[in-house]
Structure 1
Amino acid sequence: MVLGIIRIVKKDYLKGILQIVSTGVLAAVTFSYFTFALMFYPYDFFAEGLKVPENIKFEKPIKLNDEKDRINIHQQDFILYDYFQPGIYKYDLFLYKIEKGKAYLKIFEITKNQILSEESIKKKSQIEVENKTDELRRFELKDDFTIYEGDWGQFYGSRIEVWFKPDDVNKPDRKLITKNYIIQGWMR
């Protein structure tokens, strides 16, 4: 491209324009080829070879639909929902009396105890909570969060922990609930 501009400056217009156009066409073809090829390249090998342990009880995320309002929970708990695409999730949290603060998730691959998408999930899974009564109250995640490790259809076991960060800075974060789910990552 630079050589084409130099030729134009030296008043060799035809060769300069042809060189610029041919360089642009070659760049476009190369870019298109690699873009197309990378769409089909399975570059996330995280979940390959991972097996779901048979000696651990797992739940599966529920499809997020109209059934959500029919769920009947009678104890402190959370429910994970499949959302929009595989690897993208939402959750509802059910809590008894709790001071003002933020609940968030920590998710681990269960066989290696490896934390998944740590910063992203901590930030995107936050729910502001406060329940001054002894009645069980439902808190809903308004947005969604993504698990990036793995690809669509590569299911693996996870341990999901609900943590609570009180607004009172003198109190430490504490774990509220732990459950095991079979999950999959989002295909980038």
Structure 2
Amino acid sequence: MKRFLVPLLLAFLFVFEGLFAQLFPADIFNGDYIFVPRILIIAIFFLTIYGSLKHGIIYGFVFGLLFDMVYTEIIGIYFFLFPLSAFLFWKIMKLIQTNIVLVSLVSLICVAFLEAAVYVMNLLIHITSMDFSSFAEIRLVPTLVLNLIFVIFAAFPLKRQFEKFADALRND
């Protein structure tokens, strides 16, 4: 039963992201800002550092492909960027101390990387024509604030859950 808890948690977060985007009132700030929840990738980051790199990358591929199929017009952007972001997150965390504050801060930096990479890809294939300063003001900063709020509330529960997952992996 314990082995199904992590995939179920990640599946729940995947669905919750879509529901949040549908239920969050778009005109809360006169429609001037775009808030993008990235709770799934943050959970994958925590899985990567507190669980295992292998599982973080595998779930990155799986949920990246699902994310592309359900939420985007182009298959491959998130399929490529989710595991790449998880790997870069792991590499950065190997260079610095792994405490909950730094894990949370680096996860937000990696969310910023993910958002910027998606923006650049959309700019290259002419899906968007927004300049980077507008993107940063309208989408990047509000997205980071929203995800910071999530990290503040979810960091300890995610850490605990993925440490239990890692212990279960070691005991099997």
- TM-score tier after normalising by the smaller chain length: 0.3 to 0.5
Q: Which structure's CA Rg is the greater one?
A: 1
TM-score w.r.t. the length of structure 1 is 0.31
TM-score w.r.t. the length of structure 2 is 0.33
Give the structure with the larger strand fraction: 1
Which structure is richer in relative contact order (CA contacts within 8 A, separation 6 or more)?
Answer: 2
